[in-house]
Chains A and B, each alone.
Chain A
Amino acid sequence: MPKLTGYALLTLMIVFFVVGSAFAQEAEGDDDGSLFKYIAEIEIWVAQPTGLDYSPATVFDATNPFFEVYQRPTHGTSESFRYAGGLEFRRDAGALMLSYLEHRDEDVLLGESSPGNYIFTTSMASPLLAGLNDDGLADGYDSQFDTTLRDLRINYKRAAFETNRVNGSWWVGVRRVAHRRIANASYYAIVDGLPPLIPPLVTFPRPDLDPRPDVVDTASRYSGRGLEMGMEFETAMLKSKKLKLRASVGMAFLRGKVRSEYTSISHAFTFQDPLTGVTTVMEPPYDLFGEIIQVSAGGALGPAVDFIDQITVVDSFLDEKRSLSGSVIDTEVSLNYQIHKTVEFYGGFRGSSYSNVGIESRREVAQIGNQLLSSIASEEQSAEYEGFFGGVRFHF
């Protein structure tokens, strides 16, 4: 026997409630021959996400170390389609609707450079060995952000009250929200300022010693579900009642899990002492790059750079199935015009706030004495979407 989940039970309860309600009213008379009508909606929502709080870097003011300016990408508007369909029951027995929305805010780019001026903090990178000079500073960065929202709703809506000026209705339902945040950043040492590796110090170029950028990849994938409820108010704008103004507010409480991934790739220069064979990680300011050293026990001299290498250091972790309780608040105002008894156009403005639907994890390193203590810091993230929408609704 298949296992019934709580949401399946809730859905069944709503269905029984609606059907039962319809039958109850049908028994009271005023029957036109069918229990319900179909409703289909297609809608475009040009929404702009805000509050995502991506920040790949801060600008560091060398003259005032306590003053930093957060750099954040600008998220433009992008259109998304919302599809809905359901049953509208006769004699004010309410409507059962299923809707699906997917909003993609992809390829949002943010990059700056000030070659030679190390004023950008490598905010997303692991602090260990971050930046050319291991000080968490870069003279340029590129970052990319992708945010995807998927929102599936099943709800039942029914009239609550009716007056001469305004009609009110309520709805309850279930909601499933998936929110994905992907952020990538690269931090550069565009002008490294290292001693020039040109003749006569070296005979051939050493592109392998060009400082490689620190690269960070992060991802947060949230999936949550929960109950939702709300109210809608409607008032006729014309005597014919073909033009109506609707305003609604709703909220949902989500229980979900989030999976976060983090990978930070840094680099370091190493020097293998030609006399002892011991390899050490070099520390800034890397003067050894331009020096002539003794390279053999016999006293022969040679450039130290011949014994310098660049290594890659990877810091990566995965936080899987972490519980995270979220919530959604929707507000909406729209004008609806019914041009035919089966066709209705509508348009308006909608704002949806998704709280705690993602986390941002970063590596933190604290130094206590000579000990470096590493930890992972996580912060819940939210998202808000707002923008105009327009659509068409069919009743048949």
Chain B
Amino acid sequence: MLRVLATVGVLLVLSVFTIGCDSTQPIGAGPVTYEVQMSAVNVIGFLGGQGIRSYRVWEMYEDNDNNGQPDDIDMDGVPDLFNFCRDLLASDTSHVNPTSVPWSYTVEISVIPAGTTGEVIVSSPAGLTDDPLINLSRYDNSSRPLVLGTSQPTVMIDDGGMMRTFRFRDPLKLSQAHTRVARSTSNPLSDFDPMTYGLGNGLCSAIDPGPTVVDGQENFLVDLSPGDTIIVRARRGAGAPMGIETNGREANLSGTLSQDGLTVSVIGSASSDAVTGAGFSFSFTAR
């Protein structure tokens, strides 16, 4: 019996040294939201008249019935608002602060799920032809009267020989009025005189040239699980945005990736040269 016990004991000791167990700890963390911030902005000081031609735009309306509300000129049931544009280069630059001008760009965001090698596009390239990202919000937040010499709340505009009176909407807040780069390719008052009101000072098109971009930035939210890789590819527009005339100065395109407001370090380049058509790409793998 002693030999049996000794043998069993030896075998047990051998088992300890020969039996192993491999295990892989499961990934327990859930997805985390990351924010991609794209920016294609050129800060222009307008010093010496150099810079980008852009426009400050005010909203105005007709109030022929003097009820204090915009009239429905085209009888479509919706009160009509028009834009009044002012060419910044023609304005008194001493009143104009350095401004940011957004640039058109294409961005493609894709994610490679953890453990795979294939990309899943989560944001298709922003089209440059259909929806150029050239909107911007206020470029000047200083409080200033309307730039027509006086702070008059109305303006007379010649519409093919007929003078029409427009009121500025809430003139006390003109300085807070949003500014657009207007695409004045048509006369908003008359289809028969399309070129009268092109780009320049005066009544301009109310056409919204694209999606709203606050301060020239576009934000994308992407949920990443541990091990997921996000790839951001971006390329500047082929030319200047419509409504903007460059004078040899162009914007560079840049992007940042952040989590809870903190910028994370990425692999690759996150900004482009200030050259037409330049691009960049960067990636980040969530841990």
Assess whether A191 is in contact with B125, with CB atoms less than 8 Å apart.
Answer: no
Is there contact, CB below 8 Å, between B285 and A115?
yes
Q: Which of A212-243 contact B (CB under 8 A)?
A: 213, 235, 237-238, 243
How many Å from the CB of B269 to the closest CB on chain A?
A: 8
Contact with B along A254-291 (1 / 0, CB 8 A): 00000000000000000000000000000000000010
What chain A residues lie within 8 Å of B233 (beta carbons)? Answer: 196, 198
Cα distance A113–B115 when bound, in Å? 7
- B7, A200: Cβ atoms under 8 Å? no
Asked whether B229 lies within 8 Å of A196 as measured between CB atoms, the reply is no
Known: A200-B238, A200-B277. A115 touches B108 (CB 8 A): no
Residues of A114-139 contacting chain B, CB below 8 A = 114-117
Given A196-B279, A237-B7; A191-B18 close (CB under 8 Å): no
* Residues of chain B from 91 to 134 with CB closer than 8 A to chain A in the complex: 106, 108, 112, 115, 117, 125, 127-128
Cβ of A138 to closest chain B Cβ, rounded Å: 11
Q: Is the CB of B106 within 8 A of A198?
A: yes
Interface string of B58-74 (1 = CB under 8 A from A): 00000000000000000
**Is the CB–CB distance between A196 and B108 below 8 Å?**
yes
- Expressed in whole angstroms, the Cα–Cα distance for A74 and B11 within the complex equals 25
A115 lies within 8 A of B112 (CB): yes
Contact A243 B281, beta carbon cutoff 8 Å: no
Q: Is the CB of A199 within 8 A of B117?
A: no
B279 touches A290 (CB 8 A): yes
Does B75 count as interface, using CB distance less than 8 angstroms?
Answer: no
**Residue in chain B with minimal CB distance to A235:** B3
Number of A-B contacts (CB under 8 A): 90
A113 and B118 alpha carbons, distance in the complex (Å): 12
Considering only CB atoms, which chain B residue lies closest to A76 in the complex? B22
Contact A386 B117 (CB under 8 A): no
Distance of A213 Cα from B117 Cα, bound (Å) = 10
Please give, as numbers and ranges, the residues of chain A lying within 8 Å of B163 by CB-CB distance: none
Q: How far apart are the CA atoms of A235 and B4 in the complex, in Å?
A: 11
Q: Assess whether A199 is in contact with B128, with CB atoms less than 8 Å apart.
A: yes
Rounded to whole angstroms, the CA-CA distance of A67 and B278 in the bound complex is 38
| A156: chain B residues within 8 A (beta carbon) | none
Q: A116–B4 contact, CB under 8 A?
A: no
Chain B residues with Cβ below 8 Å from A113 are 115, 117
Inter-chain contacts of B267 with A (CB < 8 A): 115-117, 191, 193
> Which of chain B's residues have a CB closer than 8 A to the CB of A193?
267-268, 281, 283
0/1 per residue, A185-204, Cβ < 8 Å to B? 00010110111101111000
Known: A238-B4, A243-B4. A116 touches B106 (CB 8 A): no
Contact B3 A237 (CB under 8 A): yes
User: How far in angstroms is the closest Cβ of chain A from B213?
Assistant: 18
Minimal Cβ-Cβ distance residue in B for A74? B22
Closest to B281 in A: A196
CB distance from A140 to the nearest CB of B (A): 6
* B180, CB-defined interface residue at 8 Å: no
- Contact present for B231 and A191 (CB under 8 Å): yes
Given contacts A115-B283, A140-B117, A191-B231, contact A199 B106 (CB under 8 A): yes
| Further contacts, 16 of them, CB under 8 A, given A115-B285, A349-B18 | A74-B22, A113-B117, A116-B267, A116-B284, A196-B108, A196-B233, A198-B233, A199-B125, A199-B128, A200-B106, A200-B128, A200-B238, A201-B235, A213-B117, A290-B278, A348-B11
* Subset of 6 A-B contacts with CB under 8 Å: A191-B112, A198-B108, A199-B128, A200-B237, A335-B7, A388-B18
List 8 tightest A-B contacts by C-beta distance, closest first: A196-B233, A116-B267, A200-B238, A115-B229, A191-B283, A116-B283, A196-B279, A199-B106
